[in-house]
Every structure is written in C-alpha cells, then in structure tokens.
C-alpha cells in the first residue's frame, strides 16, 4: 500500500469537499486529520512504533508541501498522528460530531492526562467555549482545582466546585473584608458564575430570610440549571470553622422548605473561605455542603 498517495488523496478530497459544502468544513477537516493520522501510524508500522517515525513524517511533509502547497508542515502532520492516537484511548475525543474545531483539539493535545482531556472536551461542548476560552480554562488549571474525585463522565454539582475559586478583585490594595469580597463578586458576577462551573445562574444577593424571630442574610443565592437545584453561597475571609457549616445548613434547610419547588433537587451549600481546616472537613462533613478556598486575581 502506498501510504503517501493515500494521505495526499485524503487531503485533496477534503479541499474539494470544503469548496462544495462550506457549512460542514470543520467536520470535514477533523475527519480528514483523523484519517491522515491513522494512515501515518500504519505507515510507521503501527501504534507501538509510531513515535519513532519522525523521519517519515518529515519526508511526507516535504513532498506534500511541494505538490499541494502550504499547510502540510512537520508539526501539523505530527499533530494529526497524535490526534489519532489519542482518539484510540478516549472515544469522547473522536470528532464525529464536529462540536469542537481543530484549534480546540490542538490545545488539548498538550495535555497528557486522559481524564483531564475528557473533562475539557465536555465543558467546551457544554459551554460552547471558543478555543481562546478553553485555553484560558486550561491555563487557570481548572481541572486541577476540581480535586481528585471529579467524575468526567457524569459530573455532579460537588465535582464542579473548584478548589480554589478564582475571584476577580478590582482593588488589590484594599484590605479584603467579607463586604469587599462580596462587592467584588457582585461587580464581576458573570466571571464568578463561569468560574463556579456549568449552569450557574444568579438569583439574589444578601437574600433576607427569617429564622425564628431573627433575620439572616444569604450572601448569594444561585440556581444550577444543569442539576436543577438552588445553591447557597456563603463567603468567609478566615480559616474554615465548624460553625460555618451549621450556619449554611440552616440556610439550605430554609431554601428547601420555603423556596424550592417539589420538582427541584435538594439545595446545595457552598462555603468559600480563605483557608481550609482539615479537622473541620474530616469530622463536620455534610453531603450537601461543600467547601472551597478562594484566590484573588
């Protein structure tokens, strides 16, 4: 089998197809690059030996550039081979749907952890992220801040709460109190909701509730559309304390009793604090209460 001619013909067919059906150029590109990657691996003698075939890729690159023009560099052909090999390991990456562009996948190819790649594929599709937005998520180490228990196949609300959460502060020289932290989030609410994860929507700030004969105020009340539940956010600029959990449990119970509809899932509470406390986390846990630290940017 002449692998070079097969690769050349695949590229030529793709160029013709793109001119005829402009609306599906992205999917055609991705399927072409997948097929070229497969042919390159086979030409190199299979997956086990594929990483040793740099000389062959260089040869193909020079011939394709001479015969077809620009766009067939050694780097591009190497990425196509890498793309194919990755697709063998994780089915979610195979570009049959064409939801992501080749630029998205080139960014993802720099990641070694398969679960991390699957996570970023999922959020890029779910949130319709541009390649630039995806790159920003990766640079902020979003996956690492989710912790080790994140389920990349069927994520839950708790798996989407990062640790730590990046909060934009307008005046970094000002002493950070709960009030200034609260105001900074209010002024940058869109960024905050995106940072929290998928499907969060703003309901209210300093939501007034009455517990017994006293009024209390929920820092932020959100709703998660994806998981169909209310989310109580409590801000603390100190180390995590056991009494914070008791406070948020009261707020969560109030929302469940007085605000939540019967078709909503149980309310979730999130405490965002300056510093974790391992003792509190070990002995004062609650399945609907989650704790995360914050970093200001």
137 and 172 housed in the same domain = no
- In this prediction, residue 281 has a pLDDT band, given cuts at 50, 70 and 90, of low
Domain assignment of residue 228, yes or no? yes
65 shares its domain with 30: yes
Among 134, 137, 83, which Cα is nearest to 109's?
83
Same domain, 14 and 141: yes
The answer to whether residue 97 scores a pLDDT higher than 60 is no
Higher confidence at residue 164 or residue 80?
80
- 256 contacts 226 by C-beta, under 8 angstroms: no
Q: 122 and 64: one domain?
A: yes
34 and 87 within one domain = yes
- pLDDT tens figures, 155-167: 555 555 777 899 9
- Verify that 182 and 137 share a domain, yes or no: no
163 plus 141 within the same structural domain: no
Whether residue 152 is contained in a domain is answered as no
Dump pLDDT digits (tens) for 198-253. 789 999 999 999 988 899 999 999 999 888 899 999 999 999 998 999 999 999 99
In-domain check, residue 195: yes
pLDDT at residue 262 greater than cutoff 80? yes
At 220 the three-state DSSP class reads strand
Q: Among 6-15, 148-157, 171-180, which is the least confidently predicted range?
A: 148-157
Global pTM reads 0.59
Structural domain of 108? 3-145
CATH code: domain of residue 217 = 3.40.1350.10
Alpha-carbon distances, residue 235 vs 62, 90, 155, 219 (angstroms): 59, 38, 24, 7
For 181-195, write each residue's pLDDT tens digit: 999 999 999 999 988
Check whether residue 108 and residue 169 sit in a common domain: no
Residue 150 lies in a domain: no
Q: Is position 192 within any domain? A: yes
Are 265 and 167 members of one domain?
A: yes
* Number of domain units in the chain: 2
Query: What percentage of the chain exceeds 70 in pLDDT?
Result: 85
188 and 126 assigned to the same domain: no
Specify whether 173 is located in the same domain as 129: no
- Positive or negative, the Cα torsion across 176, 179, 182, 188? negative
Of 101, 124, 145, the last residue of a domain is 145
Last residue of a domain, which of 83, 115, 145? 145
pLDDT, one tens digit per residue, over 99-146 is 788 999 999 998 988 888 888 888 888 778 889 999 998 998 888 887
Q: Which helix (H) or strand (E) holds 216?
A: strand 214-224
- The CATH number for 7's domain is 1.10.10
Residue 267 has pLDDT above 60, yes or no: yes
């Amino acid at each position: 089998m002449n692998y070079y001619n097969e690769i050349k013909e695949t590229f030529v067919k793709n160029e013709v197809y793109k001119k005829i059906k402009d609306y599906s150029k992205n999917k055609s590109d991705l399927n072409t690059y997948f097929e070229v990657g497969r042919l390159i691996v086979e030409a190199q003698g299979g997956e086990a030996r594929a990483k040793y075939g740099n000389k062959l890729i260089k040869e193909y690159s020079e011939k394709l550039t001479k015969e077809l023009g620009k766009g067939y560099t050694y780097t591009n052909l190497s990425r196509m081979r890498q793309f194919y090999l990755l697709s063998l390991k994780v089915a979610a990456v195979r570009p049959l749907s064409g939801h992501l562009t080749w630029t998205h996948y080139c960014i993802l190819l720099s990641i070694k952890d398969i679960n991390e790649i699957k996570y970023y594929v999922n959020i890029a599709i779910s949130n319709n992220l541009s390649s630039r937005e995806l790159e920003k998520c990766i640079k902020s180490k979003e996956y690492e801040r989710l912790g080790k228990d994140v389920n990349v196949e069927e994520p839950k609300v708790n798996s989407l709460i990062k640790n730590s959460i990046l909060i934009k502060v307008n005046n970094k020289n000002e002493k950070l109190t709960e009030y200034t932290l609260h105001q900074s989030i209010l002024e940058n609410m869109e960024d905050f909701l995106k940072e929290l994860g998928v499907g969060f929507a703003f309901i209210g700030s300093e939501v007034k509730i009455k517990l017994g004969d006293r009024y209390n105020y929920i820092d932020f009340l959100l709703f998660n559309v994806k998981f169909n539940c209310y989310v109580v956010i409590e801000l603390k600029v100190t180390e995590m304390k056991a009494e914070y959990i008791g406070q948020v449990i009261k707020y969560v119970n109030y929302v469940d009793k007085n605000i939540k509809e019967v078709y909503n899932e149980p309310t979730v509470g999130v405490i965002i604090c300056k510093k974790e406390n391992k003792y509190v986390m070990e002995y004062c846990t609650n399945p609907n209460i989650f704790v995360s630290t914050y970093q200001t940017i």
